[in-house]
Amino acid sequence: MELSTGEIAKIKMLDNGCSVTTPVTLQVISNLQPFGNQNAGAPLRFRCMASDGEQSIVMVLPVHLTALVDEQKICRYTVLKVQRYNFTKKKGPNDQMMSFIIVGDAEVVGTATDKLGSPEKMGMSAAAPSAMAAPQQPQQQQTQSAYQPQQQPQQQQQSYGSSSFMSRVEESKPSAYSGGGMAPVHSGNAPILHPIKDLNPYHNRWTIRARVTQKSAIKSWNKPNSQGRLFSVNLLDDSGEIRATAFTQQVDRLFPMLETGKVYYISNAQVKMARPQFSTLNNQYELTFDDSTTVEQCVETAGVPQEQFNFIPLANLLNHEKGSIIDVLCVVRDIGDLTEITPRNGPTDRKMIKRELTVVDRSGYQVRLTLWGQEATEFSLPKDSIIAFKGIRVGDFGGRTLSLPSIGTMTANPDISEAHMLRGWYDSTGRNSTYQTYDSAASSAGSGAGVRQDQLKTMAQVRDENLGGSDQPDYFTVKGTVVFIRSSSLAYPACASPDCNKKAIEDSMSGQWRCEKCERTFATPDYRYIFSVNVSDETGHNWMQCFNEIGEKLMGCPASEMVRLQQTDDAAFNRKVTEATFQEMVFRCRAKSETFNDNTRVRITIMNMNPVDYVAESRRLNKLIESFSI
């Protein structure tokens, strides 16, 4: 059991509040003294004197080692390997500077029968560095505990740490502004906590205990009137989640402190209205870190949940509209090379870097997934890795696709039960499986060779097979003609906030429109399509529901334009409706039973539609005819 000789002399020369992650081996050379106000609900902790064989220092143990003290596994003469700690200086009695370390984590090496080496008394800790390095003479009463001052001269009693000083050890906290390193470990009584779900701009004295579930890379912006950097984290406690962002001045200080998966006490941040375009969390507020924000690592993490996912099987992507934000858990089947593209609507000299992955899951589908920018260039995982994507966007470019936006994150090989099950399945079965794809024909409901015969239905088959009549939705493709559009009510007034889409209510007094969900008021709403069409083929017809994306494809203009025409120009409005009628299309549909006022009926919703590809349709019909040939 060799001690880290000479390390305490180096520790005492560190800056106040410095966080250290280099392990150091020290010996407990005193009885362990409990502290903390148990009556106030503070957790029990212990302090002691620690030695490296040459010098000694006060050491405060973390809460999670209290049980080892109770079991006598940590006691006088126990040797500990301290994995990480914070160094703190504080004035003690007679204005003498006292030094001590607050341990973040440590492991027991063993327990000796006596003190190792010849550590100096703590009263010499203020000596000059040259004196510290000088050979030390053995002292009398080496085994005397520093917490038994009745056996020491009165002057040394204060130097070793009198009760007036040591009773305040728990009140000392490392500086929260020691940027460039780990967050200081919280010491002392646990603060009064505030649930994340109750944070609001009108209450500014609060402390949350939250786990960092996501942490973005540092990003820069450079505009004509401003420039700077930022990063953001998602914080989770048992009441909910909230996004927090640090800007320019706070990036260097807080970015090294906050680590994904760890739990922190956080206070004194600004609470503002959330900007939905930058967050996928279900919270109307977000935090902004500033100069007064304090961040301290919390060792006691019981009761703080791990990151939460709501995984969607790849086979169910057609259930989600283009632009939807979802979570997926998948296996990387193939990794594409880095490529550069020019944005369609951006400047020609601007380039975007992307990398395409092919991913699969247990639902039997494979999907093209695109990484952008830094995530694309830094991607280094091998094939067959399992990745949990949170906040990934659904697209329909050439069929259903996925794309990781800046607000999303990916976690490689997460330690969760779903990932372990996926790994077991893939290694035993999935590696050699054949997967269905969302190619242009199948996913976009186009007709031809890409449409599986068991997916393409006639209206009679939809009725006879009772599609949508079970508890689970059914999906099918049908080729038909729009014979009637219910145009009396084509759209509804929606909230103008991005990604909200909730119905807005007009205030008859002011003429303003208000969204109750966002608690915002607008001069005009953003109209969105919702209407029914009757689609017919040679075997029958069905009523189908259209939402905004399908409505824009069918009507050829945004819903706000149709509402304007309906209110100002009947002839132009009717002409638009007529042009949309009697179009032959291929529809990808979802059929699901719905119950309202004790009446159950099957509702068919159009998920996607495209004009008929008559060349591909001719080939499909030719193959169908050949299959019946004798």
| Predicted confidence (pLDDT) per residue in 71-86, tens digit | 888 988 899 999 999 8
pLDDT of 3 over the 90 cut: yes
What percent of the chain is helix, strand and coil (3-state, nearest 5)? 20, 35, 40
Inter-residue contact 114 to 59 (CB < 8 Å): no
Give the pLDDT confidence of 362-375 residue by residue, as tens digits. 988 899 999 988 88
Specify the 3-state DSSP secondary structure of 502. coil
Q: How confident is the model at residue 609 (pLDDT cuts 50, 70, 90)?
A: confident
Residue 132: closest CA among 225, 226, 52, 249: 52
What does the pLDDT average to over 121-138? 36
Out of 70-74, 276-280, 492-496, pick the least confident: 276-280
Q: How confident is the model at residue 482 (pLDDT cuts 50, 70, 90)?
A: very high
Q: Which fold has domain 314-438?
A: OB fold (Dihydrolipoamide Acetyltransferase, E2P) (2.40.50)
Number of residues written out for the chain: 630
Distances (CA, A) of 365 to 80, 316, 323, 589: 52, 9, 20, 18
pLDDT at 78: 93
Does the predicted model carry a pTM greater than 0.75? no
Choose between 406 and 172: higher pLDDT: 406
Token pair of 27, please?
Answer: 């010996």
Positive/negative CA dihedral, 507, 511, 512, 515:
positive
Q: How confident is the model at residue 343 (pLDDT cuts 50, 70, 90)?
A: low
Out of 276-290, 429-443, 547-561, pick the least confident: 429-443
pLDDT at 319: 78
CATH 2.40.50.100 fits 196-297, yes or no: no
> What is the rounded CA–CA span in Å between residue 303 and residue 193?
13
Residue 290: closest CA among 423, 177, 432: 177
What does the pLDDT average to over 111-126? 69
User: Per the CATH hierarchy, to which homologous superfamily does domain 7-171 belong?
Assistant: Nucleic acid-binding proteins (2.40.50.140)
pLDDT of 346 over the 70 cut: no
pLDDT at 349: 60
pLDDT of 40 over the 80 cut: no
What does the pLDDT average to over 406-428? 87
Give the pLDDT confidence of 502-515 residue by residue, as tens digits. 899 988 778 888 88
pLDDT of 604 over the 90 cut: yes
What does the pLDDT average to over 582-588? 91
pLDDT at 397: 66
Out of 355-369, 474-488, 583-597, pick the least confident: 583-597
Token pair of 351, please?
Answer: 């380039």
* List of residues 6+ apart from 483 with CB closer than 8 A: 534, 535, 536, 541, 581, 582
DSSP secondary structure letters along 23-57: -EEEEE-S--EEES-GGGTPPPEEEEEEE-SS-EE
Q: What is the largest CA-CA distance in the chain?
A: 113
Token pair of 203, please?
Answer: 């209450």
What does the pLDDT average to over 239-263? 90
pLDDT of 138 over the 80 cut: no
Looking only at the bridges linking them, the beta strands covering 325-341 and 526-537 are unpaired
pLDDT of 451 over the 60 cut: no
pLDDT at 347: 55
Give the pLDDT confidence of 179-209 residue by residue, as tens digits. 446 788 887 788 899 999 999 888 878 999 9
> What is the rounded CA–CA span in Å between residue 500 and residue 153?
73
**H or E segment and range at residue 161:** helix 154-161
> What is the rounded CA–CA span in Å between residue 378 and residue 372?
10
pLDDT at 306: 80
Choose between 404 and 148: higher pLDDT: 404
Which range in 216-225, 239-248, 597-606, 618-627 is most confidently predicted, on average pLDDT?
239-248
What does the pLDDT average to over 535-553? 92
What does the pLDDT average to over 528-552? 93
pLDDT of 571 over the 80 cut: yes
Cα angle: 120, vertex 126, 132; to 5 degrees: 50
Token pair of 487, please?
Answer: 């145009």
pLDDT at 140: 35
pLDDT at 125: 36
> What is the rounded CA–CA span in Å between residue 309 and residue 214?
12
pLDDT at 131: 30
Residue linked to tokens 């906290």: 173
Token pair of 87, please?
Answer: 């160094």
Residue 278: CB atoms within 10 A of its CB come to 14
Inter-residue contact 456 to 412 (CB < 8 Å): no
Q: Considering the chain, what is the average pLDDT of its residues? A: 80
Q: How confident is the model at residue 447 (pLDDT cuts 50, 70, 90)?
A: very low
User: Per the CATH hierarchy, to which homologous superfamily does domain 445-622 belong?
Assistant: Nucleic acid-binding proteins (2.40.50.140)
Token pair of 469, please?
Answer: 């009549």
For CATH 2.40.50.140, the residue range(s) in the chain are 7-171, 196-297, 314-438, 445-622
pLDDT at 152: 36
> What is the rounded CA–CA span in Å between residue 86 and residue 187?
10
Mapped to the 3 state alphabet, what secondary structure does 164-199 carry? HHHCCHHHCCCCCCCCCCCCCECCCCCCCCCCHHHC
**Cα end-to-end distance, the chain, whole Å:** 88
Cα angle: 420, vertex 422, 424; to 5 degrees: 70
Q: How confident is the model at residue 139 (pLDDT cuts 50, 70, 90)?
A: very low
